[in-house]
Structure 1
Amino acid sequence: MLEQPVAEGEMQPVVNPAEPKDIVGYVREASDAEVQQALTSAINNAPIWFATPPQERAAILERAAVLMESQMPTLMGILVREAGKTFSNAIAEVREAVDFLHYYAGQVRDDFDNETHRPLGPVVCISPWNFPLAIFTGQIAAALAAGNSVLAKPAEQTPLIAAQGVAILLEAGVPPGVIQLLPGRGETVGRRANLR
């Protein structure tokens, strides 16, 4: 989910940790060129996102929370198969992700002003495999609320739930160049994104 079209490349299977024969989907690691394009896009789109009034950023995060709740069964299914979560843990994780969206929407709505708060610039959010939606969403929501563009690097074990989370944010109104998904291994994609 880059602003630019994705190049062809070798697809890697995403495997259910509880049932290794169950291929949940496929993912392709972001290339060096794609990481650089994403960073350039994030830099170029950062001023546009920061200029978005805090109230509007809050409204987008609130819309994302509503969309995420409406997709609870799909998100739970992905969490169970991709991350090996139990159904009760999957429900709790989606609820926590929704709570993060509401929390940061409230923070930016109540406490932020573009005259007194300045963004850091493009932020790289690298999430863990054990809470691949909740922590991923919390990191991104905090960065977006503060007016930062985001390069989102999910754990290599759980890129599909991350892609679903980014799709929800895009559908809610986050511009494509403001949030971009960079799947791949930490020692390659994560390292490249953080060295820029």
Structure 2
Amino acid sequence: MENIFNYIDGQLVKPVSGNYLDNYNPAEGKVYSLIPDSDKKDVENAIDVAKRAFPDWSGLSITERGNILNKVADFIDRDHEKLALAESIDNGKPLKLAKSVDIPRASANMRFYATAIQHFASEAHIPDDQFINYTTRKPVGVAGCISPWNLPLYLFTWKIAPALAAGNTVVAKPSEITPMTAFLFSKLCIEAGMPKGVLNIIHGLGSKTGQAIIEHPDTPLISFTGGTETGKRIAATAAPMFKKLSLELGGKNPNIIFADCDFDQALSTSVMSSFANQGQICLCGSRIFVERTIYDRFVKEFVDKVENLTVGDPLEETTKMGAVVSEPHMEKVLSYIDLAKKEGGKVEIGGNQIKLEGRCAEGYFIAPTVITGLNHACRTNQEEIFGPVVTIMPFDSEEEVVSYANSTAYGLAATIWTENLKKAHRVADKVKSGIIWVNCWLVRDLRTPFGGMKQSGVGREGGWEALRFFTEPKNICINTK
């Protein structure tokens, strides 16, 4: 039984209380490690050392800070296999997915911001021959970064890399459900020579450690990825304190498939965008709208493809879908399938928990589930399920499908399938989502802004947007005469 430790002031330390939480392997349904049950005192200790470290860290040149981030990335690449295995065990996702997506992206996040900060420029304005205006951007202080459980190291580094590159120090809280790779990451930071106090990682419950980070007066920046309801509570605490907030929240993403699409490409990519990572990606397309003339064909062939998805041991090479992240989450997803049936939905395939044999006999596995026959306005189609469940509905016109797509409280991402370029531009312009993919899905250029509209979030991450968030602009006006 491995103990996870907090990372404070450059050292691995036990929680002040001495208390620990169970950490489950979701594929086995068993406790395999212990997490610090940290509290306000641990957070205060971390913020204190982060404040002390801020002047020296922000005083380093951007090249010096970038060199350290790149060194951490080197160690991520070196330990690729170890980190991928840890991510698979901790999260339940297929090892193959962790190897190909999660860990490479964590390294890429560190490298991108290590160099992006060197190209981050401010503005200068010379309106006449007397006054020169220029803008500087300076790091703010201690950033509080709270990351989710679905893409643990991937999204953890997505927050801390720009914060550190910009010159802030960080107190970060990974999800208590998937803490292992953040713990391993802290060891890499020590090995890479990260200065003491610059990055501090506190493990524990959101209600105790997360809330303590948010409400502390010395964390002027809060970056959070997670559920919309949690985001509302964070905003309620942080907004009256006038903190800068970046909230990347929930989604109920539409996948719009027109009859003039490349059918085979739309079909295969839609299966992937529905069930990748067991549907536990905020960008998954959980509502599929298909033009009526191809609806019956699409449903049949979609179900045929889903039938061939292998749900199994995440460590097996042939596994396409692993376990969902926890038993409570499994019960939540199954409850929505029951709700869909009560709302008149027809389960075309799946709809049940899967019991495997061997070491995964007690794991949290759900069959990929496809539901038809539901109205676009029902709860199943309005509320975020965040699991391997999709609905498929027909539509007859652009206006109709746009109204369906925009009918939820969310607006994170959308996918549009059509070979008609004018239609693609027209529909993309009308759909209220922060990210629109046309004839593709999950293509991520790290230079582009990431984030949603409506209840899918506040602000944007990625590229210059993240560096702007983690700095404060200051205009300086010089009278030259």
- 1:17: Cα distance to partner? 1.1
Structure 1 residues 115-134: aligned runs within 5 Å: 116-134=136-154
* Per-residue Cα deviation, 1:144-192 (whole angstroms, up to 9, x for no partner): 0000000010001011111112222232222121111111111111001
| Residue 110 (structure 1) aligns with | 119
- 1:112: Cα distance to partner? 6.2
Number of positions where the alignment pairs a residue of Structure 1 with one of Structure 2: 194
Deviates more, 1:10-19 or 1:69-78: 10-19
1:32 counterpart = 2:32: no
| Residue 192 (structure 2) aligns with | 172
Distance 1:78 1:169 in 2: 17
SS of alignment partner, residue 168 of structure 1: helix
Greater relative contact order structure (CA < 8 Å, 6+ sep) = 1
| Residue 145 (structure 1) aligns with | 165
| Residue 358 (structure 2) aligns with | none
Cα gap change, 1:176 to 1:29, in 2 (>3 Å): farther
SS of alignment partner, residue 175 of structure 1: coil
The partner residue of 2:106 within 97, 102, 112 is 97
Amino acid at match of 1:170: I
SS of alignment partner, residue 116 of structure 1: strand
SS of alignment partner, residue 184 of structure 1: coil
State the TM-score, normalizing by the size of structure 1.
Answer: 0.93
The partner residue of 1:17 within 15, 26, 29 is 26
Residue pair 2:24, 2:90 contacting (<8 A) in 1 also? yes
| Residue 2 (structure 1) aligns with | 8
Q: Which has the higher strand share?
A: 2
Gaps of 5+ in 1: none
Residue pair 1:124, 1:193 contacting (<8 A) in 2 also? yes
Residue pair 2:46, 2:171 contacting (<8 A) in 1 also? yes
| Residue 160 (structure 1) aligns with | 180
Q: Which runs of 4+ in 1 moved over 4 A?
A: none
Residue pair 1:2, 1:181 contacting (<8 A) in 2 also? yes
| Residue 186 (structure 1) aligns with | 206
The partner residue of 1:44 within 21, 43, 52 is 52
State the TM-score, normalizing by the size of structure 2.
Answer: 0.39
Distance 1:108 1:170 in 2: 22
Q: Which has the higher helix share?
A: 1
Distance 1:150 1:136 in 2: 12
Gaps of 5+ in 2: 1-6, 123-134, 217-481
Distance 1:117 1:97 in 2: 26
Using the aligned pairs only, state the percent identity: 32
SS of alignment partner, residue 118 of structure 1: strand
Distance 2:138 2:152 in 1: 28
Residue pair 1:137, 1:165 contacting (<8 A) in 2 also? no
The partner residue of 1:86 within 88, 94, 98 is 94
Residue pair 2:68, 2:192 contacting (<8 A) in 1 also? yes
Residue pair 1:182, 1:189 contacting (<8 A) in 2 also? yes
Distance 1:29 1:89 in 2: 30
Distance 1:112 1:85 in 2: 39
